[in-house]
Structure 1
Amino acid sequence: MIDTLTQFWRAFLYWDGQRVSGLAVTLWLLVASLVVGFLMAVPLAVARVSTNRCISMPVRFYTYVFRGTPLYVQLLLIYTGIYSFEFIRSHELTDAFFRSGYHCAIAAFSLNTCAYTTEIFAGAMRSMSHGEVEAARAYGMNWFTLYRRIIIPSSLRSSLPLYGNEVILMLHATSVAFTATVPDILKVARDANSATYQSFQAFGIAALLYMTISFAMVAVFRRAERHWLGYL
């Protein structure tokens, strides 16, 4: 029994020059998608709260589409659906991108988390105190300076609790990466289960790894909330 569990742990955590561990792949997918999604979400949130409908409506449509469809379907469309088009396969750059399961998984996860993060940040911008904005305008700040120094920093701080939940949900969502043949934690668990038929041990270790990462991220966000939201 102990030898079997040791082999399972090695399957999840083993890392050498030729094969990356399932844990490392999951963390890489999570970090890459969160970074790309965050960088996209900040300007999109500004556009989302714009009073110009020509600017806000395309962003609204994008967030509704990606929040209204399952991530699993989005990954399948990007990994298998887009690659079925001839003009995608005929260009070397797009062919190389959509042929890689890693690229497709990161693209799907980034677009998905960006949609949710955009709405989180946009909601925080709408709920800002009107007095803060008026005070900034009284100091003579222009539109760009107002957003850079007042609205965006304040919104990011106030949205920390909701964004922390989104990060946890994104970690759990990476479990569908096996659809694109990406060897993440769940893919390793499925392979171990297929090889040994010991489902409880294989998926139990996968659940323990997900739970450990989740608790670590909860601790990080609680510390961040105490630091940046202590005045509340």
Structure 2
Amino acid sequence: MTDILNQFWRAFLYWDGQRVSGLAVTLWLLVASVGIGFVMAVPLAVARVSKRRWISTPVRIYTYVFRGTPLYVQLLLIYTGIYSLEFVRSHQILDAFFRSGFRCAILALALNTCAYTTEIFAGAMRSTSHGEVEAARAYGMSWFTMYRRIVIPSALRRALPLYSNEVILMLHATSVAFTATVPDILKVARDANSATYQAFDSFGLAALIYMVVSFALVAIFRRAEHHWLGYLAARSR
């Protein structure tokens, strides 16, 4: 792995002010897509658990479509499929947006993780203790206040273990961004392999970087679970 480290370690890890490292691009893809997906998923989860079918059905269809098709296909449809439409190319704003592989990658990743996160949060909302809901009603809370102060905060805490797995999976899913010519970790590894023909070293280093970042995310979420879910832990008498 010495040759790869000597020739490409800057492209993997180092940001020199002119070229962004593969690690930085991967982390930005992760943060942007997970952030957008989270913000979208909270209201969609509320709609998903609604008893009104005209509200819950469109959300259910959206989650089924994006959970039932491969992320790779979704990225290709957004990056190449949508841009092939005439009205997209003729519209200045749409043309500028879908011409960018980076923006298309973030859009595909955000829509994908939003679908999974919506189902995670919706499941947590459905499992909210009946006693919590009754207590909120006893205090005279409106539907909006009850969801804002009781249901959503409680559901987000309980969904944290499942959501941490989704974030880790999204880190791994960013590896498809190279399809849209995004210079992430895997793109740098492919370039290193093409230049040196040392496939094991090139992709082995990429795998090591992904593993280190994954372990760091696991540690962060474990601390978050200990903080917000500590009240659920068994206590010694």
Q: Does the TM-score normalized on the shorter chain lie above 0.5?
A: yes
* Corresponding residue number in structure 2 for 1:141: 141
Aligned partners of 1:88 and 1:94 also within 8 Å: yes
d(CA) in 2 for partners of 1:150, 1:88? 43
Match status 1:157 vs 2:163: no
Map 1:154-193 → 2, pairs under 5 A: 154-193=154-193
Checking the alignment, whether the CA contact within 8 Å between 1:178 and 1:186 is kept in structure 2 is: yes
Aligned to 1:107: 107
Question: How far apart in 1 are the matches of 2:4 and 2:80?
Answer: 36
TM-score w.r.t. length of structure 1: 0.98
Paired residue for 2:235? Answer: none
The equivalent of 1:61 in structure 2 is: 61
- Quick check: 2:102–2:182 contact (8 Å CA) kept in 1? yes
Q: Separation in 1 of the partners of 2:97 and 2:18?
A: 21
State the SS of the aligned residue for 1:9.
helix
Structure 2: how far apart are the matches of 1:92 and 1:16? 33
CA distance in 2, matches of 1:174, 1:3: 26
Please state whether the residue corresponding to 1:203 is helix, strand or coil: helix
**What residue number does 1:125 align with?**
125
Instruction: Output the CA distance in 1 between the equivalents of 2:2 and 2:183.
Output: 24
Q: Per the alignment, do residues 198 and 49 of structure 1 end up closer, same or farther by CA in structure 2, a change over 3 Å counting?
A: same
Give the aligned length.
232
Contact 1:45 1:122 in 2 (8 A): yes
Once the two structures are superposed, the pairs formed by residues 45-84 of structure 1 within 5 Å of their partners are 45-84=45-84
Q: Deviations over 1:9-49 (max 9, x none)?
A: 22211322321100000000000000000000000000000
> Which whole-Å CA distance do the structure 1 matches of 2:132 and 2:198 have between them?
59
Letter in 1 for 2:10: R
| SS of aligned partner of 1:51 | coil
CA pair 89-219 structure 1, distance change in 2 beyond 3 A: same
Contact 1:9 1:205 in 2 (8 A): no
Please list every run of 5 or more consecutive structure 2 residues that lacks an aligned counterpart in the other structure: 233-237
8 Å Cα contact 1:133/1:150 also seen in 2: yes
- Give me the whole-angstrom Cα distance separating, in 2, the residues matched to 1:202 and 1:8: 9
Whether the 8 Å contact between 1:79 and 1:99 is mirrored in structure 2 is yes
Q: Per the alignment, in what secondary structure is the counterpart of residue 231 of structure 2? A: coil
Aligned residue identity for 1:66: F
Paired letter, 2:43: P
The one-letter code matched in structure 2 to 1:154 is S
* CA distance in 2 between partners of 1:184 and 1:157 (Å): 31
Q: Compute the TM-score of the two structures, normalised by the length of structure 2.
A: 0.96
TM-fit CA distance, 1:118 = 0.1
Tell me which amino acid in the other structure corresponds to 1:200: F
Identity, % of aligned positions: 83
Please state whether the residue corresponding to 2:203 is helix, strand or coil.
helix
Distance 1:43 1:26 in 2: 27
- Contact 2:4-2:192 within 8 A present in 1 as well: no
| Cα distance in 1 for residues equivalent to 2:189 and 2:81 | 26
Is the Cα contact below 8 Å between 1:113 and 1:170 reproduced in 2? Answer: yes
Q: What secondary structure, in the 3-state scheme, does the structure 2 residue paired with 1:183 have?
A: coil
